[in-house]
Amino acid sequence: MTVSDLEIKAYRSVRSIRFPLRRLTVLTGGNGVGKTNLYRALELLQAAANGTITHAIAREGGLGSVLWAGERGVKDLPRLSLEVGLEADNGSDVILPRYAVEVGFGDSKYEAVFSEEPQIKSESLILPGRRPVTLLERNRAAVWYRDDNGARRQLDDTLLPSETALSSLRGTLPEVDAVRHMLASWRFYHGFRTDPDSPLRQPSLAITSPMLDSDGSNLGAVFATLKHIRGDTVDLDVAIDRAFPGARLDIPPPDKYASFTMTFPEVPHRPFGAAELSDGTLQFLALLGALLSYRPAPFIALNEPEASLHPDLLPALAQAIARASERTQVWVVTHSQALARALEDATGLAPRTVIRRKGSTWLEGLSDMGFFPDDED
């Protein structure tokens, strides 16, 4: 499954927007237009699949802090809503469901919530088509779903206002489990720590690792899995040679821990371990681990991946992102016009420009109906 489109309402700088996603979506734009808010909305969808969306909102300062702060219509309720459409990755005509979740303020006088706690107001999982089929529907605490025979059944357990039905309903319909698993498997990479105590600089446990953890703590194991389990580091070697001509990444067979070293042509007999590498080099290697792993996440989101990187590394990074987009879906938010141009050169896909329209986050060229009229994709 890949993400076909995303809808966000009343979240921070976003009043209401719906737009399609490509295999590779690249967003650029000036400061303060809301690029990061689009990224964070995706994180909240993953949190809904994990059952932690209300916790995530509370960590952002609470619902009052994350709701659209602009003018609202008289009938507009103070609620945040997110919706995501999915489509088959293999180009088939299989219809996949849409998931939507709405969060609002609870009422501690009548409901099992604290006074400032966000509450799940509604959820739905719907198969679109000429005759849409609702697989899951929630209205406050009331939840029903369809069983294998298509009959409606009430959820036996009462959900708390902080719990999502998508995370709680398991073993009913395969579509429910598939959507939850897909959203929960997304990976978000918003910079990696490169200080002396960074997880990137520590050896990682020698556990077969098909994809990189969000903090990069299993980077050594990701490289070792490519080298010693898959037996194929061609893409990784090509990316490193593009970035550091003549350099070599060495990945020894792991014992209890997995590690790696870099050898540069200027010092051919002196390998450098992770603890010795520059911040930019280590950041670049972590991005390669995220993009070129044995089995990348079904959706990879990169927020300002150019941070700490020398401009000379951006063409190699663009090629690695383009290569990854052949295997999975990638979302990139960047301030770097050089990276955006390099990605366009590598893929032929022009970046989307995030703008402010009537005070709200919008995408340049996006119609009010939620599509790009000039999109040839």
Output the CA–CA distances (angstroms, integers) from residue 86 to 51, 96, 275, 298, in the order listed. 20, 6, 41, 12
Condensed to tens digits (0 to 9), the pLDDT of residues 321-371 reads 999 999 999 999 999 999 999 999 999 999 999 999 999 999 999 999 999
* Strand, helix or coil for residue 48: helix
Could you tell me the pLDDT band of residue 140, with boundaries at 50, 70 and 90? confident
CB 204 within 8 A of CB 257: yes
Per residue in 159-200, pLDDT (tens digit) is 888 899 999 988 778 889 999 999 999 999 998 999 999 999
Which pLDDT value is given to residue 377?
47
Contact 138, 127 (CB under 8 A): no
| Confidence at residue 350, expressed as pLDDT on a 0 to 100 scale | 93
Q: How many angstroms separate the CA atoms of 278 and 170, rounded?
A: 45
pLDDT at residue 159, rounded to an integer: 86
Domain ranges of the chain: 2-20+48-173, 194-296
Can you tell me the mean pLDDT for 269-288? 96
Q: Name which of 42-51, 274-283, 367-376 the model is least confident about.
A: 367-376
Task: Indicate the helix (H) or strand (E) that contains 153.
Answer: strand 152-154
pLDDT, mean over the chain:
92
Helix (H) or strand (E) holding 123: strand 118-127
List pLDDT tens digits, range 147-170.
Answer: 888 889 988 878 888 899 999 988
- Which bin fits 28, alpha (ψ -120 to 50), beta or left (φ > 0)? beta
Which run of H or of E encompasses 8? strand 2-11
In angstroms, the Cα distances linking 120 to 89, 157, 171, 261 are: 30, 16, 22, 48
What's the confidence (pLDDT) of residue 374? 76
Weakest mean pLDDT among 147-151, 228-232, 255-259:
147-151
286 in Cβ contact with 300 (< 8 Å): no
Conformational region of residue 262, where left means phi above 0, alpha means psi within -120 to 50, and beta covers everything else: beta
Q: CA–CA separation, 106 vs 112, rounded Å?
A: 8
Q: Provide Rg for the chain, Cα atoms.
A: 22
Q: What is the pTM of this model?
A: 0.92
Mean pLDDT, range 22-43, rounded to an integer: 95
Report the distance separating Cα 1 and Cα 19, nearest Å.
17
104 burial via Cβ count (<10 Å: 0-12, 13-18, 19+): buried
> In this predicted model, what pLDDT tens digit does every residue of 47-61 receive, in sequence order?
999 999 999 999 999
